[in-house]
Amino acid sequence: MHKDRKEEDSFHERKFAWIDKWVKMTGERAKIDAKANETYIIYETENGSVKEISRWTNN
């Protein structure tokens, strides 16, 4: 039995759909950790490196 392209694409979308959610949650967790530890996050984009600083308060 041969799957057509649409069925195959649909299968891969379902199979790997959790990755988008996991990546988003990992990024959010990194921001929380950076704020708690008074550090920052550096990541790469098409235009180069970005340094994201979470504003922390001195309590």
Residue 31 falls inside a structural domain: yes
**Residue 3: predicted pLDDT:** 58
- 3-class DSSP state of 43: strand
**Residue 53: predicted pLDDT:** 84
20 pLDDT exceeds 70?
yes
Is 40 within 8 Å of 51 (Cβ atoms)? yes
**Residue 54: predicted pLDDT:** 75
Residue 15 falls inside a structural domain: no
Share of the chain above pLDDT 70, in %: 69
**33 contact partners, CB below 8 Å, separation of at least 6:** 39
Domain of residue 51, residue span: 25-59
**Residue 55: predicted pLDDT:** 74
Taking residues 11-16, what's their average pLDDT?
Answer: 68
CA distance 16 to 22: 10
Residue 12 falls inside a structural domain: no
Which tens digits make up the pLDDT trace of 33-42?
Answer: 998 898 999 9
Residue 1 falls inside a structural domain: no
Residue 4 falls inside a structural domain: no
Provide the domain count of the chain. Answer: 1
